[in-house]
Structure 1
Amino acid sequence: TGLALKPDGLFLAAILGGETLKELRIACTIAQMEREGGISPRMSPLAQVRDAGNLLSRAGFALPGVDVDRYTVKYNSALELVEHLRAMAETNALFQRSHILKRDTALATAAIYQSMFGLEDGTIPATFQVIYMTGWKEHSSQQKPKRRGSATVSFGDIRKQFGSNQD
């Protein structure tokens, strides 16, 4: 953080999270097990939410924050989804992988995807998890957390006053 941001500078990032394309990952894994007797990673590894928060802290950011959104996009077929991924340049970036997905494995993946996740209207859903990260470069003007145990009101008292909203 020392070279890229001015003091009290804000770091913002949005990355695809580990739940992205979970349907495709499951379908491809099953198809590979059935057709090839084992699996080879076909998609780039993606960060988990907890990893994003840890990364911000380890990078030295103050006041780190992480938020998550999930988007579901409908596609007419797995082939349409793969074409969309290629257009986004989101195909596998792994160096150590089997180079070619066999045609029958690819067709099996599409069939399994449709069978397991297909919607009533004939489309398939694709989940995209977006992890948003924020962090600030340290600066003397930033708010600082209070010393542990210095609170004058307890959360229990607040809960009693405003009512517990536990489901």
Structure 2
Amino acid sequence: MSDPTAAGGPAPELFDRRLLARRRTRALARAEPGADFLLAESVSDLAERLAAVTRAFPRALDLGGHTGRLSAALTALPNVERVLRADLFVVDANAPGADLVVDDAHLPFAAESLDLIVSALSLHLVNDLPGALIQIRRALRPDGLFLATLLGGDTLMELKDVLMQAELETTGGAAPRVIPFADTRSLGGLLQRAGFALPVADVDRVTVRYGDMFALLRDLRAMGATNMLRERARTPLSRAVLLRAAALYSDRHADADGRIRATFDVVSLSGWAPHESQQKPLKPGSAKMRLADALAAPQGGAPDA
């Protein structure tokens, strides 16, 4: 994933954020049971990581926290004091009242005003992720912590494969139907470039099994996570393309029992706002022992027993 701000120009408008807002609103209104299984798993992982941090966070922000799951998990932690919930685009009527509604691409917080910012499965849909990470780092007080999960890597690689092949076979051309996802190494690099200290990026691959491709598509709609590329095709896929894609999915990506697999790579990010108390790498040339001396083997054969 390249940094579109590196050359000084504006970030490309890859995602249609207005469409994202409409689909998020629709998904929250329907609130289909079980549709937020990825969010539930991400929240559990973020809470576990925070519980292992031995310091207090007086003021925390749940960024984009629809459903209230993340806010509830943060509030339950003994090292997190006050939690602000910032819903993305629209208040979730099915969750306790949000403190504010914000666009996670444009943070309204003053510099050094928060001790902890946590985001669950939202930031992979920001057009200018490098810029968003810089805003997050600026909003943190020195030694403040940022934690996030977002989809990356090979997420939905099976669906992307079969939709492209089916459309090529049926119509002779193919439009992008699955959004691109950044790889883990690139995301870790963006943390560094945004100015975070001690940046960490790791990935957990979640494989979900479905009866068929249409069950997967229903879950994606319930998540508000269907195609929202700005350059997407404006006409829906035909029945012929969908049926061919479903057949390809069963042929290429099914287990022995006939159930298909869907891959979700959940990338976890963490980074600290710089502070003088944090560990720092040694300066080049500051070692007390030469590498050659440290690696030198004893002379004269094997040591005495």
TM-score where L is the length of structure 2: 0.49
Matches for 1:57-68 after TM superposition, within 5 Å: 57-68=192-203
Aligned to 1:164: none
Structure 1 residues 9, 35: closer, same or farther in 2, change over 3 A? same
Aligned to 1:96: 231
- Per-residue CA shift, 1:8-39, capped at 9, x if unaligned? 01111111013001111111111111112121
SS in 1 for 2:177: coil
Aligned to 2:241: 105
Which structure has the higher relative contact order (CA within 8 Å, separation 6+)? 1
Matches for 1:121-160 after TM superposition, within 5 Å: 121-151=257-287, 152=289, 154=291
Pair 1:36 & 2:171 matched: yes
Shift of 1:134: 0.7
Pair 1:54 & 2:208 matched: no
SS in 1 for 2:169: helix
1:74 to 199, 209, 216: 209
Structure 1 residues 157, 72: closer, same or farther in 2, change over 3 A? farther
Shift of 1:130: 0.8
- Per-residue CA shift, 1:86-113, capped at 9, x if unaligned? 1111111112211211111111111100
What letter corresponds to residue 61 of structure 1 in structure 2?
F
What letter corresponds to residue 212 of structure 2 in structure 1?
S
TM-score where L is the length of structure 1: 0.87
* Contact 2:156/2:178 (8 A) holds in 1: no
SS in 1 for 2:168: helix
**Runs of at least 4 residues off by over 3 Å:** 149-158
1:115 to 245, 251, 267: 251
Ranges in structure 2 where 5+ consecutive residues have no aligned partner: 1-135, 298-305
Structure 1 residues 9, 111: closer, same or farther in 2, change over 3 A? same
* Sequence identity percentage: 47
Residues in 2 aligned to 1:155 and 1:105: alpha-carbon distance in whole angstroms: 63
Aligned residues, how many?
159
SS in 2 for 1:19: coil
Ranges in structure 1 where 5+ consecutive residues have no aligned partner: 161-167
Residues in 2 aligned to 1:35 and 1:157: alpha-carbon distance in whole angstroms: 64
Structure 1 residues 155, 71: closer, same or farther in 2, change over 3 A? farther
Structure 1 residues 68, 154: closer, same or farther in 2, change over 3 A? farther
What letter corresponds to residue 39 of structure 1 in structure 2?
A
- Per-residue CA shift, 1:116-136, capped at 9, x if unaligned? 111111100111101111111
* Contact 2:203/2:265 (8 A) holds in 1: yes
- Per-residue CA shift, 1:20-74, capped at 9, x if unaligned? 0111111111111111212111012211112201211121111111111101111
Residues in 1 aligned to 2:293 and 2:151: alpha-carbon distance in whole angstroms: 37
Residues in 2 aligned to 1:4 and 1:102: alpha-carbon distance in whole angstroms: 46
Shift of 1:157: 5.4
